[in-house]
Amino acid sequence: MAKNSSSSTTVPDTAWLGRGRHLGPEPEQDVRRNLIALKAAGVLDDFLDLDPAEAARSTVLHPRDESADPGPSARRLFEARWRVAGDVTVRAQLTTYDPEARRKGSEGVTWILAAEARRAWAAHWPSPATMFWPDSDMVAWDHDTVPGVRLRTTNHLPKDDDELRRRLRDCTRESWFIHVVVHEAMTPDVMGQRPVSAFLPPSLRHRVVEHRGTPEQAQIVDYAMKRELSVRMPRGGAVVVPTAPPDPGYDADRFTVRSVFLDGSEPTELIGRVKEFAALPQPLPAEAERALTRLRQGWHLLTPDEELVHARTMVTRYAEALDAMTNSRDLYREAAEAAQAALAEVTGGDGVPRLPVPGPAKADGSPLSALTKAFGRFRDPHK
**pLDDT 10s digits, 244-282:** 888 888 999 999 999 999 999 999 999 999 999 999 999
Range list of β-strands (E), the chain = 15-22, 46-50, 74-84, 88-97, 109-117, 154-156, 178-183, 208-213, 238-240, 256-257
- Using the 3D structure, point to which of 270, 297, 324 is the last residue of a domain: 297
pLDDT on residue 215: 97
CB 93 within 8 A of CB 61: no
Is 184 within 8 Å of 221 (Cβ atoms)?
A: no
- Claim to verify: residue 150 and residue 57 sit in the same structural domain: yes
* 78 shares its domain with 193: yes
Asked, as a colleague might, if the bond just before 360 is cis with ω within 30 of 0, I would say: no
Is position 250 within any domain?
Answer: yes
- The last residue of one of the domains, among 278, 297, 316, is 297
List, for the chain, all residue ranges whose pLDDT scores fall below the cut of 70.
1-8, 58-68, 100-106, 304-315, 318, 346, 348-383
Same domain, 183 and 163: yes
Q: Are strands 208-213 and 178-183 parallel, antiparallel or unpaired?
A: parallel
Predicted confidence at residue 107, as pLDDT, reads 79
Same domain, 222 and 190: yes
Global confidence as pTM: 0.78
Question: Is the domain of 315 the same as that of 293?
Answer: no
**How many Cα atoms sit within 13 Å of 287 on the Cβ side?**
20
Q: Are 76 and 52 in contact (CB under 8 A)?
A: yes
Say if residue 163 is in the same domain as residue 240: yes
Work out the angle between the directed axes of helices 161-173 and 218-229 (0-180°, nearest 10): 40
The answer to whether position 6 is within a domain reads no
Counted domains in the chain: 2
Domain hosting residue 311, numbered range: 304-379
- Which tens digit of pLDDT belongs to each residue from 62-82? 555 566 678 889 999 999 999
The residue out of 280, 297, 314 marking a domain boundary is 297
Residues 355 and 217 grouped into a single domain: no
Query: Quick check: is 77 in a domain?
Result: yes
The residue type found at 91 is R
